[in-house]
Amino acid sequence: MTIIDGKQVSSDLKQELKKSVEACRQQVNAVPGLTVIIVGEDPASQVYVRNKAKSCKEIGMNSTVIELPEETSQEELLAKIKALNNDPEVHGILVQQPLPGHIDEYAVTMAISPSKDVDGFHPENVGQLVLGNLDKCFVSCTPYGILELLSRYSIETKGKHCVVIGRSNIVGKPMANLMFQKLKETNSTVTVCHSATQNMPELTRQADILIAAIGRANLITRDMVKPGAVVIDVGMNRVEDASRKSGYRLTGDVDYEHVSEIASAITPVPGGVGPMTIAMLLKNTLQSFMRAHSIQAS
Ligand SMILES: NC(=O)c1ccc[n+]([C@@H]2O[C@H](COP(=O)([O-])OP(=O)(O)OC[C@H]3O[C@@H](n4cnc5c(N)ncnc54)[C@H](OP(=O)(O)O)[C@@H]3O)[C@@H](O)[C@H]2O)c1
């Protein structure tokens, strides 16, 4: 059984990206820049934003964090985004979610230029993904990271049955769309499950590749998994744990202890899918920079 080590892969990828950033600097005397906007003071969001900024710096990219007060109006936020759309030194714009209730997330998504939408949430990027034009879009970072893991671990996907559980716009839908594309890394047959799916275990037991993006701790049990399946656990759930200083620990959607006994490969939580998300955000930002400067990938 292989433990898919997202921490290691993301670290390797960051080293590769660092070299590419340096090569860009030498070629055009500029480096990619990511701007993250955070509205309000949600502590978890502040941690995510800090980590994104830190990762940018580690690989030599510019990073700016714009902190706006909770009471920022939608108009003010949209004006800020418009200014960033027009700033040639900004290659990626990310607005940290969740946003305060008075701000319409859809309006914010629509305001970001698709060419700087490194989260891959804009309908133009989603549309290009559905069309299979990965060279013309940004792919949502978590599914993109899973693709990278499958590829780096040489997991056979062609013609395999992939069952994706979850249909959110940021994970489930783009994941399912990626997996059935006629690409070297995908080309699977895909089934999507959600909260209204009947007889879900019957479907999950048919999966050669099972991707759980649900948000329910340990929902996927051993009896729901085919022996030899590849299991990708996207879930990040906090469960109470009195032995920890924080009072909780992170756990996935998959009962790792028992499922790992029969899976051929599995991602742990933490240390599986999670670390890949920021790495792919950096990759998308570099991609945006390269497109802006007409630099071909070597
Ligand atoms: N590792 C990372 O970097 C990363 C990134 C993003 C998300 N996550 C984690 O991944 C999980 C999913 O995130 P998300 O944003 O996609 O969540 P979400 O928007 O809440 O979507 C959850 C999906 O799971 C489905 N679902 C819920 N209960 C179910 C059940 N009992 N049986 C079958 N399907 C069920 C929902 O169905 P309906 O559509 O019918 O409601 C929905 O489609 C969360 O734990 C989140 O923290 C991790």
| Average pLDDT of the chain, as a whole number | 97
Whether residue 244 is predicted with pLDDT greater than 80 in this model: the reply is: yes
Helices 141-152 and 274-292: crossing angle, nearest 10°?
100
d(Cα 64, Cα 157) in Å, to the nearest integer? Answer: 38
Q: Which atom of ligand 1 is nearest to the CA of 237?
A: 45
Mean pLDDT, residues 160-170 taken together: 98
- Residue 54: helix, strand or coil by DSSP? helix
As a whole number of angstroms, the distance between CA 21 and CA 282 comes to 10
Calculate how far, in angstroms, residue 42's C-alpha sits from the geometric centre of ligand 1.
20
Q: Give me ligand 1 centre to Cα 16, in Å.
A: 31
Our mutation pick for probing the ligand 1 site, out of 234, 237, 269, 276, counting the most ligand atoms within 8 A of Cβ, is 234
The answer, yes or no, to whether any atom of ligand 1 lies below 6 A from the CB of 192, is no
Percentage of the chain lying above the pLDDT 90 cut: 98
* Distant-in-sequence, close-in-space partners of 122: CB < 8 Å, separation ≥ 6: 109, 110, 112, 114
196 confidence band (pLDDT: 50, 70, 90): very high
Check if the beta carbon of residue 194 is closer than 8 Å to that of residue 241. no
pLDDT digits (tens, 9 = 90+) for 125-143: 999 999 999 999 999 999 9
Confidence of residue 298 (pLDDT cuts 50, 70, 90): confident
Segment 19-34 shows an average pLDDT of 97
Asked if 165 and 200 count as a contact pair (C-beta separation under 8 A), the reply is yes
Confidence of residue 172 (pLDDT cuts 50, 70, 90): very high
Q: Give the per-residue pLDDT at 103.
A: 98
Is the Cβ–Cβ distance between 218 and 255 less than 8 Å?
A: yes
Domain ranges in the chain are 28-113, 140-274
Ligand 1 pocket member 33 (CB < 6 A): no
Does the beta carbon of 274 sit less than 6 angstroms from any atom of ligand 1? yes
Confidence at 181, pLDDT banded by 50, 70, 90: very high
Q: pLDDT band at residue 297, thresholds of 50, 70 and 90?
A: confident
Q: Model's pTM, two decimal places? A: 0.97
- Mean pLDDT value across residues 198-222: 98
Q: What is the pLDDT of residues 247-282, one digit of tens each?
A: 999 999 999 999 999 999 999 999 999 999 999 999
Better-predicted residue by pLDDT, 44 or 181 = 181
pLDDT of 157 higher than 80: yes
Ligand 1 centre distance from Cα of residue 93 (Å): 24
The contacts of residue 79 (CB under 8 Å, 6+ apart) are none
As a whole number of angstroms, the distance between CA 218 and CA 233 comes to: 10
Contact 24, 292 (CB under 8 A): no
CATH assignment, 28-113 = 3.40.50.10860
For ligand 1, what atom is nearest to the CA of residue 165? 34
In the residue annotation, 96 being an active-site residue is answered as yes
CATH 3.40.50.720 fits 140-274, yes or no: yes
Instruction: Report the interhelical angle of 141-152 vs 6-28 (nearest 10°).
Output: 100
